[in-house]
Structure 1
Amino acid sequence: MPRQQKPWISLDQQLELLKSRGMTVDEPQIARSYLEKLGYYRLSGYWYPFRQLSTHFNQELEIPIRHDEFVEGTHFRDIVDLYIFDKRLRLHALDALERIEMAVRVDIAHLLGEIDCYAHENPKCLHGHFSKQVKKKGPAKGKTEHQLWLEKYEKAIWRARREPFIEHYKKNYAGIPIWVAIEVWDFGMMSMLYSGMKLQHQDKIAEKYGAPSGHDFSKWLRSLNFVRNVCAHHSRLWNINVLERAPIPDYEHWRQINNSRPFFYFCLMQKLLAVISPNSTWNKRFDCIVESFPEPQNNAINASEFGIVDNWKSWPVWGLK
């Protein structure tokens, strides 16, 4: 049986469809402009929580069902306000994640570079599970995690081959030392190599940032890389379910937080920034963004979906009170 094709509809038809489902469009031209610039599908992620919700029972299981119709009192402006809030949140996260990425890259390069200037390429400088243990199945069968990392690294070097610093080191030296190589790493490559370091080296860097262990810090980085990818691809952040979950440290207040929600990872960012940039106003700017959370009259959305909890401003990690 041939699969159905989703019909194309014009921008004006998209607006009419939204109105037919109960959304109020107060300023059609402005709404049309947003559909034209951002796209119906991207905005649909922001109006999803405004759709009516009911519960279906199947063999005594409650199954939530979202309907096409909107909750009464939903305005297109509500969707735009939520999108703008989310955009501010994404940009604010990227501001922190850039600084975290730069700082941890230098930590890795400084520590490993003292052992071997080409430590990133030397399996002896890394943990055996990362550098010696081969995969027994899948497309990477027969390869180690380090070999897979090196493949990504070589691709990054090739992309940067015209950069003067790459040309210089390739022309004049036996290789690219780790403190130079970090300039072509992305957050994922940095996180992956950190996870492949020897435990004592992981722990030394983790201690600097107040993480319980190198193992925990490795998972923090992996989770923050997930958040970074969400932000870098302009995806919705404010209420996503974080798939790469970091362990919750046993600190005061932190057990109140849900590590599947984004707020937990903003707490992690602030904790790391307190070490990297102790005079930063990132915490205060985050507070301002949270205060701007849209509050539609029909109460279809709530900041609790972001994972935020009461009294968070009084927590020592935030340094707000």
Structure 2
Amino acid sequence: MSGKEFKSHEELISLLISRGVDISTPEHKSFAKKALQHEGYYNLINGYNKLFIASTAPAERYKPGTTVEEIFYLYDFDRKLRNIFFKYILPVETNIKSIIAYVFSQQYGHDNYMLYNNFNTTRKGAEANITSVIADFQRQLASRASDPSIAHYLKTYGYVPLWVLNNILTLGQISKFYSIMKQQDRQNVSRVFHIQDNQLENILFYLSSVRNFCAHGNRLYCFRTKRPLADMPVHKSLNIPCGDGKEHDYGKRDLYAAMLALYYVLPAATYKKLVKEIYRLFSTLMPKLSVLHEDDILKEMGFPCDWRNQLLSLK
């Protein structure tokens, strides 16, 4: 099987020029070469050229005026966007871990989070899901047995309290733990956020996907998922339309849905800071663009044109 041939930076620049990218000055060429050296062709060009492509047949052609600089500006915008979302999801992760550990330990003791009967055994697929979570927790403990805090509790008490185990669990793992808890216990957690337990479960899984995109450096501005955010009261209060009569046009499988999810699990003042921080990021990007328009990027993000006013109007 033959793969793609290696191309030097000079050859890659020539390829971009042949496809309509403006690298007509020494300054453009110098920037392009440094960008390819630092970021890589695949990450930068293949990752962020979609909005700049005018035609794909018979070969990719870029929109007139496209420069490597502008592609880089979008790339850098997305990198900063990941940093913002990651920064605001981490406190949510810490908070939900703390609440779950408190509620569960209060009900069953701090060393009984691996007992099968302490979970909802009546739910569909319960046996497989419960045993999977317990096995995962056991693997986490085994793999981190040399961690000072883990080793201390194992040596001194023979077990590790859930609130200590939290330190080595991911948001995805604690989300799965929450999903197998008994309904009353789940409700005791979700009540803190003034939502139903099934809504909180869905929010945690959604934010876990976004967190993973941020942590692994995946493209975030065009985030899409097959598992949608549940219908929430905020969809109705924002009058988000349903074009097909079944699912809302946006705020379900996109990055805007993450904003709606965060609305329920962040303090109001913190949420407003998040909205304003993203708005400032947009404000620094827009003056740098000539080929792309703000609407192009907002559409990829699933954000409506008046997204800032909509989100700041939420109470």
Q: 1:163 to 1:130 in 2, by over 3 A?
A: farther
For the pair 1:114 / 2:116, whether they are aligned, the reply is no
How far apart are 1:243 and its partner, in Å?
A: 2.9
How far apart are 1:122 and its partner, in Å?
A: 1.4
Following TM superposition, the consecutive aligned residue runs of length 4 or more in structure 1 with deviations greater than 6 angstroms are none
Q: Tell me the alpha carbon deviations over residues 165-206 of structure 1, each in whole angstroms, 9 at most, x when there is no partner.
A: 111101111311112111111111011101111112222222
Q: 1:107 to 1:67 in 2, by over 3 A?
A: farther
For the pair 1:296 / 2:289, whether they are aligned, the reply is yes
Q: Please, what TM-score do these two structures have when normalized by structure 2? A: 0.85
Output the amino acid matched with 1:157: L
Match of 1:186 among 149, 157, 170: 170
How far apart are 1:48 and its partner, in Å?
A: 1.9
Alignment of 1:147-226 (within 5 A): 147-211=131-195, 213-226=196-209
Give the structure 2 partner of residue 273 of structure 1: 266
Output the amino acid matched with 1:34: A
For the pair 1:124 / 2:124, whether they are aligned, the reply is no
Match of 1:308 among 297, 303, 311: 303
Give the structure 2 partner of residue 284 of structure 1: 276
Alignment of 1:36-185 (within 5 A): 36-43=37-44, 44-53=46-55, 67-116=59-108, 117-129=110-122, 133-134=126-127, 144-185=128-169
Instruction: Give SS of 1:297's match.
Output: coil
Unaligned runs of 5+ in 1: 55-64, 135-143
Query: RMSD value over aligned CA atoms?
Result: 2.5
Please tell me whether the aligned partners of residues 120 and 126 of structure 2 are also in contact (alpha carbons under 8 angstroms).
no
Q: 1:258 to 1:279 in 2, by over 3 A?
A: closer
Q: Distance in 2 between matches of 1:110 and 1:35?
A: 49
Instruction: Give SS of 1:52's match.
Output: strand
Match of 2:17 among 8, 16, 19: 19
Q: Greater helix percent: which structure? A: 2
Identity between Structure 1 and Structure 2 (%) = 21
Give the structure 2 partner of residue 246 of structure 1: 229
Q: Distance in 2 between matches of 1:158 and 1:174?
A: 13
How far apart are 1:52 and its partner, in Å?
A: 1.7
What is the number of equivalent residue pairs in this alignment? 297
Q: Tell me the alpha carbon deviations over residues 215-265 of structure 1, each in whole angstroms, 9 at most, x when there is no partner.
A: 121111111111111111101110122233211302310635331221220
Please tell me whether the aligned partners of residues 23 and 74 of structure 1 are also in contact (alpha carbons under 8 angstroms).
yes
Instruction: Give SS of 2:305's match.
Output: coil
Q: Distance in 1 between matches of 2:59 and 2:199?
A: 41
Q: Please, what TM-score do these two structures have when normalized by structure 1? A: 0.84
For the pair 1:5 / 2:3, whether they are aligned, the reply is yes
Moved more, 31-40 or 248-257: 248-257
How far apart are 1:4 and its partner, in Å?
A: 3.0
How far apart are 1:279 and its partner, in Å?
A: 8.5
Q: Distance in 1 between matches of 2:28 and 2:218?
A: 25
